[in-house]
Structure 1
Amino acid sequence: MKSFNFLVIAMFLAITSCTIDKTDYEAETGSQVPESYEFKEAVSFTSGNYKITIDALNGTFYKGYNELHLKVVNTQTNQSINTSEITFLPIITNADGSKSSCPHDYNVAYDATNKYYGGYSVFTGESTTTASWKLYLSFTADNQKYEINKDITVAKQSNKNLNMTAFTGNDGEQYFIALISPQKPTVSENKIVAGIYKYNKPTTSAGTFPDPTQFSYSEVTGFTLKLDPRMPEPSMGNHSSPNNKDLVQENDGLYHGVVNYTMTGNWTLNLIMMNQNGLILKGTVVPTDFTPGVEGVKSELYIDTLF
């Protein structure tokens, strides 16, 4: 009986703490969870009679997943080009001179419905005084190939619901997981979308820079991302939620699932990534113990969120 009374008291304290934290987080939701749904010009390039513009959410490139809309216009005729193949290659140069890229659409396809070339880039780091990003693009017009490049700025992603993570799997391959939606979750069952990508190790030596074979990435296919969301703060006691659904790949190449947020606050998406054969490439099972006053244990693979 004594044990039962202690458990009831502990649960009451935890619930009280949840209520206090919920109120605090609701008060700061506006500043903590910015939303961007309007595409604006983030950068433009000019070569000869042609201008390329790249639109991104809020007119900004952010660390993490970026949906991109590209347009090529003949500045003499003001006509848009829709028959050319566009190549898109982002490269970051570090303080030691080393260069690398990030998951991206290299061959950007034309979207006839929306009248732009649609692509994406998962920038893996922010621009700093010691790390700079540059975009390399090419397209063909009037039987002539144009190759242009331009420095860009990648900003910090202040919305934790759009966080990303990079890691080496148990198979020795380099993987990337980027959250894409929801930007602003609600206290409910939320549809969650993520991209999972892999670095393609070069099979040949480098050619003329920037050789795209040295900076190649692809969407992984047929994986499963097992999901276990928890509230890791000590006051939350490793609180979880029911009715979550693991993320599986759909026809758009992205991974879709359901995350059930039962209250506002800090949440950790504990993940286990499994390949097509059900082998675990990264991630560990999280203890189910209710631990008020103790910070919750996180998976070996996780992404933090806040709303």
Structure 2
Amino acid sequence: MKSKFNIIFNSALLIIYTIVSILLFAACNKREEANPTPPAPAAVKIAEGYAKGADVKIEVWANEELFTGYNQLLFALYDSNSGKRITESHIRLNPVMHMKTKSHSCPKEDPDKTAVNELFTGFIFFTMPSNDKENWTLETQVHNLANHKFGTAVFDIKVAETVVPRKRVIRKDGAVYWLGYYFPEKMKAGVNTFEIVAFTKSKDNLSFIPAEKLTMKFSPEMPAMEHGSPGNENPSHSKGGRYRGKVNFTMTGDWRLNLDVFDGENTSLGKHFFDVTVK
């Protein structure tokens, strides 16, 4: 009798254990579905760390490794206690090149205070590459609007010189201009919106400011095929030293963006170009 009871009791325990295991497995799956791992904001994680005073974890992302020229950077901010994404914050960027005898900054644009798709977007125009004895740091100051705390994180970053130049330096009558380019979307055959970005030094020579009074005449060409394209628009100033235009790539391959640059309407700053590859 006892043996029969034990068999029934053990069978009941096994059934209960099986049901509980199934329920726990289902609950875990639901939690995983409710909190999926977020996709990477971009192709390359540049750095990560904590702005401790603000209780914020910072991830810095970019679409490619950092280079001399105009770089877009994406900042993902997390509450360092809860792990939740932060979508409103003041972020101030301070890139610094540390050289043997001096240090200097470079042109930059701080992100807006409100994130788009949980990401804060900023831009930095690196004027020179890193090397074994000279390096860049990126000081990122954060004002966490959720708790009104301030904090700073400092990242060591590497900046490479590109094989095909992505910046131009123009010197004219004591003034210096830095030009770069930016495509908001991946380049493709057809009409593309693009931006030429331009910066200069302030009158006291201590900071970089947008060059907002330039005029540009633009013509693309495909050197290997010896032809240009119709339907292009000269870059015109939109804001903050950004000059927005349109280029019509009629086919894939190597293209040259030719620019005739003027300070105002009449003072020529010379002819310049950027080479790009459309895939």
TM-score (norm 1): 0.64
2:158: which partner in 1? 153
1:271: which partner in 2? 259
Offset, 1:51 = 1.5
- The reply on whether 1:304 has 2:272 as its aligned counterpart is no
- The reply on whether 1:217 has 2:208 as its aligned counterpart is yes
Answer yes or no: is the 8 Å Cα contact 1:111–1:118 preserved in 2.
Answer: no
Q: Please give the alpha-carbon distance, in whole angstroms, between the structure 2 residues aligned to 1:53 and 1:125.
A: 23
Answer yes or no: is the 8 Å Cα contact 2:79–2:85 preserved in 1.
Answer: yes
**Aligned counterpart in structure 1 of residue 175 of structure 2, from 170, 173, 176:** 173
Offset, 1:120 = 0.8
Amino acid at match of 1:134: T
Answer yes or no: is the 8 Å Cα contact 1:41–1:55 preserved in 2.
Answer: yes
Unaligned runs of 5+ in 1: 1-36, 204-213, 284-298
Taking only the aligned residue pairs, the percentage that are identical comes to 24
Q: Please give the alpha-carbon distance, in whole angstroms, between the structure 1 residues aligned to 2:253 and 2:101.
A: 40
Structure with more of its chain in strand, by fraction: 2
Q: Please give the alpha-carbon distance, in whole angstroms, between the structure 1 residues aligned to 2:254 and 2:86.
A: 46
- The reply on whether 1:102 has 2:100 as its aligned counterpart is no
Q: Please give the alpha-carbon distance, in whole angstroms, between the structure 1 residues aligned to 2:217 and 2:86.
A: 43
Report the CA distance shift for 1:240/1:167 in structure 2 as closer, same or farther (over 3 A).
Answer: same
Paired residues, what number?
Answer: 233
Q: Deviations over 1:64-118 (max 9, x none)?
A: 2222222332221223444542210111123x3332222102x432234423322
2:23: which partner in 1? none
2:29: which partner in 1? none
Answer yes or no: is the 8 Å Cα contact 1:103–1:199 preserved in 2.
Answer: no
- Structure 1 window deviating more from structure 2 (128-137 vs 40-49): it is 40-49
Unaligned runs of 5+ in 2: 1-40
2:93: which partner in 1? 88
Report the CA distance shift for 1:230/1:78 in structure 2 as closer, same or farther (over 3 A).
Answer: closer
- Structure 1 window deviating more from structure 2 (262-271 vs 48-57): it is 262-271
Q: Deviations over 1:122-147 (max 9, x none)?
A: 22233222331111122234554323
1:12: which partner in 2? none
- The reply on whether 1:116 has 2:87 as its aligned counterpart is no
Answer yes or no: is the 8 Å Cα contact 2:86–2:118 preserved in 1.
Answer: no
Q: CA RMSD in A?
A: 3.1
**Aligned counterpart in structure 1 of residue 79 of structure 2, from 63, 71, 74:** 74
Residues 190-269 of structure 1 mapped to structure 2, 5 A cutoff? 190-202=192-204, 214=206, 216-232=207-223, 239-250=227-238, 254-262=242-250, 265-269=253-257
Q: Please give the alpha-carbon distance, in whole angstroms, between the structure 2 residues aligned to 1:201 and 1:39.
A: 38
Larger Rg: 2
TM-score (norm 2): 0.69
Q: Please give the alpha-carbon distance, in whole angstroms, between the structure 2 residues aligned to 1:171 and 1:120.
A: 28
Structure having greater relative contact order (Cα 8 Å, sep ≥ 6): 1
Q: Please give the alpha-carbon distance, in whole angstroms, between the structure 2 residues aligned to 1:303 and 1:156.
A: 15
